[in-house]
Structure 1
Amino acid sequence: MQLVRAQRPEIASAVRRTLAGVNLPALPVTLRFWDGSVLEGGAPVVEVRGPEAIAYVLRSPNQIGLARAWVTGAVDVPDDRDLEAILSLRGSFRIDLSKLDIARLGAAAVRIAGPALLRRAPVPAIEAPRAGRLHSLTRDKAAIQHHYDVSNRFYELVLGPSMVYSCAYFAYPGESLEAAQARKLDRICRKLRLAPGERLLDIGCGWGSLLIHAAREYGVHGVGVTLSEAQAALARERVAKAGLSDRIEIRVQDYREITDGPFDKVSSVGMYEHVGRGELEHYTAAVHELLAPGGLFLNHGIARLHSDPPAADTFIYRYVFPDGELSPVTDVMTAMEGSGFEVRDVESLREHYPLTLRRWVANLAANRDAATAEVGEQRARVWRLYMLGSALGFEEGDVTVYQVLSARDGAPHGLPLQRVEALRAPACERTVRTRERRGGEVPAHTNGVPHR
């Protein structure tokens, strides 16, 4: 739909007159309209670039309308500092309009921007399809491919050379992302007590970074599964380049389709969020069946902390993680215990995730032109908004991220008496420290645990 641009000057004045009789709180932002007029409010500036913005919000006066206006560029906030200030208001600024108020605003919008507003504005092409039974194999694969099969090069630009798309583990706030991601991978290997010859299953293996680290530094044989064809292709290339093709297999496969257990250890990093709250028991039961008695299972995932379950239709669901759902960590632990696991260790990494996300936001900003060339303007805008908003969510305690280590019943788990001993891995420690020195990073200790 091509909307006719309004020729009347001073749109801000018309909006001001319309809002005078509507029960609205003080405007926390300043609006700059497409004719150059400005409606003064709070310090952050929002650019309303055309009547299309009004059309989206008029048709969907909720988060989806605003999301569509943002994705298409009809609404923009060019400065990241302004965008962060606006996102920080999301919990305090509420609009409660009566049906009469909505009708008045709609009529005024038509007067300002023309009758074309009465027609439905086009839905952005990158909005996720939502067809089929929720969390069926087919729908889950479509949801994963929507997010991950966009461009491996795009993810390289955002994530950096580690190609790790989950929370890093920082020794100090100014540490490099690469060093922190290497520390995270090693921490997972230590918690799992990986040993040469063991068989490791990595559910949601991404681009293979954890498996490569585990095979190279701990001598395991690994199987990684992902539903993303693009991820699998690059993961296999990276495995081959590392000379580990004889020890690592990458599959395009759902965890529910794996039949060649048992595995000695199982990791799942940043994957369970795609499982769904109603599927947690099935997920942990499936892992239990794939794991040898006494084997260890580490689940690393985002969890709701104080926030309520989100509405069924949000920006994140439509544009970022279709069908993704977050659960309190207690739900994850309950599901584990109900499936025959004993929870052995729980660690919160909440403060580490905003540090990670802000590195990704900076990478996207530094590589904006190249990233946009890879995935298009709309998707680049989605990632900018979602990563910055997510950083604030972790900083404010709306959400968090946990590593939960559990042991399968049926045999001794072999974990040491002291937690510090569970994180010791002298052979790998030398390698990690050497790499950090070469990068100019020499922390006093590794993984937050002193070593004798």
Structure 2
Amino acid sequence: MDSTIRKSSGVQHHGIDKMFYKTMFKDLFADPCTVHFWDGEEEHYGSGESKFRLTFNEPIPKADIIADPSMAFGEAYMHGIIDIEGSVREAVESLYNNKNSFLRQGHLYNRALKLLSNNKKRSRENIEHHYDIGNEFYKLWLDETMTYSCGYFHSQDDTLCQAQKNKVDYILKKMNLKEGQTLLDIGCGWGQLILTAVKQYKVKALGVTLSSEQHDKVKERIKEEGLEDSLAVELRDYRELKDRTFDRIVSVGMLEHVGKDHLQEYFSHVSSMLKDGGVSLLHCITGIHEGAGGTNSWINKYIFPGGYIPSIQELVAHISGEELHLVDVESLRRHYGKTLEHWAQNFEEALPQIRKTKDEVFIRMWRMYLNSCAASFNSGNIDLHQFLFTKDITEDIPFCRDYLYRC
């Protein structure tokens, strides 16, 4: 008798959940879609042919969705509770494109996200969580330069590899490097930027990273290219660099790992390491809402622990707070959306190799991560900017911007 009561209660509970779902989906997406419920019933939402189809193999508790929609839907997709037929990116993009959707207001939920201070130990652990899962894994879906940041597409026909080389060239031009200068790359990744800088501009460069996998690969590349006299890489926190100054400092895709409480510390250290008249370029993801921290709870838990995406306002305030002079700000939002689309496609093509070492939960997690990030950039939910600034007034930046576009 007890089992009958429990079964009856479960059916009633699922019925309540289903009414909640049906109401929610009326205003959730900007495009027409079909929802297949756990009991076999299907509902069509919007007018016209469905762009994608969602299948709920079982309901997600209503309370979980209300408490934290990013976590609820992210975990549900990871564990196969939700399946998406069609493009995962287009489904998430449709959600973000509907500005009236309650899920579009993700920054309101993120205010409650507990952000732990990224001391040196925690920073190293956070970087290891994401970057030290194996160079062989990243090699399967990144381009041959092993560049894991936004590319720069001169045209829609550029390959991913060409776009990454374009990006490096563009950054080095922006800093107006000159032979014999010193360059520091904070968070140097697998080394493409510093290798290019040394070979093309004949500078002396230092790269620092907290990833042992990246550090070992960069050392290997330096040796292969015979650049030991001009280029070095160190496995250390940039805050540990003492009594060193540089003509140029660059950081690409690293600031997102610094954490809200350490943003001013980052710019303070850059200022102390930059020579008078020196130039620095910061390339990072930016959020729209000041103080909201563009990282959602699902990404913070599974992809980038300790991450924080600052708003443009915050960054400009920190730059001016150190009396650094902001010279140029440029959005590359569309370029990152396209870069992520390339990565997501490469990831799918590499699945036979990825499945040799990773389980299905990991694969679904990374598929959602790559596609949802592409959707976020394409819809303008997040952005990417390059900030060029100097220490003290300098004439070391050309008078007009045309120098950036000369081939």
TM-score scaled by length of structure 2: 0.83
Shift in Å at residue 310 of structure 1? Answer: 5.1
Change (3 A) 1:258 1:87: same
In structure 1, the partner of 2:94 is 88
In structure 2, the partner of 1:77 is 84
In structure 1, the partner of 2:148 is 165
The CA distance in 2 between the partners of 1:92 and 1:289, in whole Å, is 45
The CA distance in 2 between the partners of 1:260 and 1:372, in whole Å, is 47
What SS does the corresponding residue of 1:40 show, helix, strand or coil?
Answer: strand
Is the contact between residue 141 and residue 228 of structure 1 (CA under 8 Å) also seen in structure 2? yes
The CA distance in 1 between the partners of 2:237 and 2:267, in whole Å, is 14
| Match 2:233 to one of 234, 237, 250 | 250
Shift in Å at residue 286 of structure 1? Answer: 0.4
What SS does the corresponding residue of 1:160 show, helix, strand or coil?
Answer: coil
1:305 aligns with 2:288: yes
The CA distance in 2 between the partners of 1:18 and 1:184, in whole Å, is 48
In structure 1, the partner of 2:402 is 420
Is the contact between residue 92 and residue 372 of structure 2 (CA under 8 Å) also seen in structure 1? no
Counterpart residue type for residue 290 of structure 1: M
Shift in Å at residue 60 of structure 1? Answer: 6.6
Shift in Å at residue 181 of structure 1? Answer: 0.9
Counterpart residue type for residue 24 of structure 1: T
Change (3 A) 1:280 1:18: closer
Shift in Å at residue 73 of structure 1? Answer: 2.4
The CA distance in 2 between the partners of 1:346 and 1:21, in whole Å, is 44
Displaced runs of 4+ in structure 1, greater than 6 A?
11-14, 58-61
Mapping for residues 159-238 of structure 1, pairs under 5 Å? 159-238=142-221
Mapping for residues 11-22 of structure 1, pairs under 5 Å? 15=14, 19-20=18-19
The CA distance in 2 between the partners of 1:14 and 1:168, in whole Å, is 48
Is the contact between residue 306 and residue 398 of structure 1 (CA under 8 Å) also seen in structure 2? no
Is the contact between residue 175 and residue 397 of structure 2 (CA under 8 Å) also seen in structure 1? no
The CA distance in 1 between the partners of 2:116 and 2:314, in whole Å, is 23
CA shift digits 1:273-308 (9 cap, x unpaired)? 111233221110101111111111100111113687
CA shift digits 1:311-368 (9 cap, x unpaired)? 8861111111112111222321221222131111222112211111111111111112
Shift in Å at residue 33 of structure 1? Answer: 5.6
Shift in Å at residue 412 of structure 1? Answer: 3.7
The CA distance in 2 between the partners of 1:176 and 1:84, in whole Å, is 22
CA shift digits 1:189-240 (9 cap, x unpaired)? 1111212222110001001110111111111111111111111111212222
Is the contact between residue 93 and residue 379 of structure 2 (CA under 8 Å) also seen in structure 1? no
| Match 2:74 to one of 38, 62, 67 | 67
Is the contact between residue 151 and residue 375 of structure 1 (CA under 8 Å) also seen in structure 2? no
In structure 1, the partner of 2:311 is 328
CA shift digits 1:383-431 (9 cap, x unpaired)? 211221122222222221111111112x74522222223x3xxxxxxxx
Further displaced range: 294-303 or 316-325: 316-325
Task: Report percent identity of matched pairs.
Answer: 32
Is the contact between residue 248 and residue 280 of structure 2 (CA under 8 Å) also seen in structure 1? yes
Is the contact between residue 12 and residue 39 of structure 1 (CA under 8 Å) also seen in structure 2? no
* Residue ranges of structure 2 left out of the alignment (5+ in a row): 1-6, 104-112
Change (3 A) 1:200 1:326: same
Is the contact between residue 30 and residue 45 of structure 1 (CA under 8 Å) also seen in structure 2? yes
What SS does the corresponding residue of 1:364 show, helix, strand or coil?
Answer: helix
Mapping for residues 42-441 of structure 1, pairs under 5 Å? 42=45, 43=50, 44-49=52-57, 57=64, 62-80=69-87, 84-90=90-96, 91-94=99-102, 134-305=117-288, 309=292, 314-409=297-392, 412-421=394-403, 423=404
Bigger RCO (CA 8 Å, 6+ sep): 2
Counterpart residue type for residue 85 of structure 1: A
CA shift digits 1:250-293 (9 cap, x unpaired)? 11111111114111110000111111233221110101111111
* CA-based RMSD: 3.1
1:41 aligns with 2:40: no
Shift in Å at residue 19 of structure 1? Answer: 3.5
Which of 1 and 2 has greater Rg?
1
* Residue ranges of structure 1 left out of the alignment (5+ in a row): 1-7, 96-129, 424-448
